[in-house]
Amino acid sequence: MLGELRLMKGGAQGVKSGKGVTCAGGGAGSGWEVNFEFLTTRMVGFLFRRFLSSLVVLWLAASITFVMMRSIKGGPFESEKGTAAAQAVKLARYKLDGSLWEQYAAYMGSLARFDLGESTKYLNWSVAELLGQKLPNSILLGGVAFLIASVGGVLLGGAAAVRQNSVVDRAAMFGALAAISIPTFVTGPALIAVFALGLGWLPVGGWGRWEQIVLPAVCLAAPYLAYVARLMRNSLLDVLKSDFLRTAKAKGLGTVEAVARHAVKVAILPVVTFLGPLAANLLTGSMVVESVFNLPGAGMIFVNSIQNRDVFLLGGAVIVYCALLLVFNFIVDLLYGVLDKRIRLNG
């Protein structure tokens, strides 16, 4: 994660006592006493540092993508029929006729004006229009898959950890291993064969109705649900052996209550770290799943833009993906502070 996190305990910044922490040298109390001026200053500093680092990351991603695409042998119009003069006119229209540095400077100037440019493959279509047409479908599909993977993985991994070495644990881990091992281009047709062609419960593909989202969402979420379940199980098993949980049980809490009230908040931290990049990955589409279920998503944009040498479309897709990745990593940083009160943002 790009943000800086610091564990503050002891000293003048945070003293743990009773049920909470007294910050900035405040008196002892039963809850959190926060110096809001100090917190606001640190938050502003953290946000400013994160904003600057995000700009640098986006600039590097756009720069590397542009230079690599323009360094590949062949141009965006070489496969089209036409004279060399006609191709030169097209290159001049997209400002791709100068030196690499001139092309790069023109592209960076467009990005500075929040203009992603026009596609060289799809005539009179801007990159923003193409992404705006495809990306919402991928976001909807990815959002449903993310909910299935995150909620299902946490519940499955938690149940497996609480009942370690039981039938539930063994069945959950065997299913997780199978979901990770079987690729989506096999899972997708298998789901279609069973639930669409065999049982007739759900449609084969298409887009527009809620039942058409179920199979592709499950197919997309399956391997990530397995990763989350294994991660949650291993993390919760470590927490179940900790001293503070034994103390909670000694004070009269049952196993389920102790796990729900105390263990889950600590055990879920590694899962939250994994969910940030996972959300960005799912929301930008999946080429395999969208192809299997014939969905009009953004997953094919990356592959098609490389094949077509469409530098501006690929650059726009990369920028959107990186922006989503930065946003969700930022959310992960904030969630760390919510789930573990000892963590504070270091501005």
Task: Identify residue 8 by its one-letter amino acid code.
Answer: M
Q: Which of 13-17, 166-170, 267-271 has the lowest mean pLDDT?
A: 13-17
Say yes or no to pLDDT of 130 above 80: yes
| Inside any domain, residue 78 | no
Cα–Cα distance for residue pair 152/149, rounded to 1 Å: 5
| Inside any domain, residue 75 | no
| Inside any domain, residue 216 | yes
Mean pLDDT of the chain: 79
Q: What is the CATH number of the domain that holds 294?
A: 1.10.3720.10
Say yes or no to pLDDT of 234 above 60: yes
| Inside any domain, residue 284 | yes
Both tokens assigned to 8: 């503050």
pLDDT in tens, 188-212: 889 999 998 888 888 887 787 888 8
Confidence band of 27 (pLDDT split at 50, 70, 90): very low
Residues 336/337/343/347 CA torsion (nearest 10 deg) = 110
| Inside any domain, residue 250 | yes
| Inside any domain, residue 249 | yes
Both tokens assigned to 125: 């279509």
- Paired with 118 in beta bridges are 126
| Inside any domain, residue 112 | no
Which residue range(s) make up the domain with 201?
127-309
- Paired with 15 in beta bridges are 22
State how many domains the chain has: 1
Both tokens assigned to 71: 């360094």
Mean pLDDT of 317-333: 87
Mean pLDDT of 269-282: 85
User: Within 13 Å, how many C-alpha atoms sit on residue 268's CB side?
Assistant: 24
| Inside any domain, residue 210 | yes
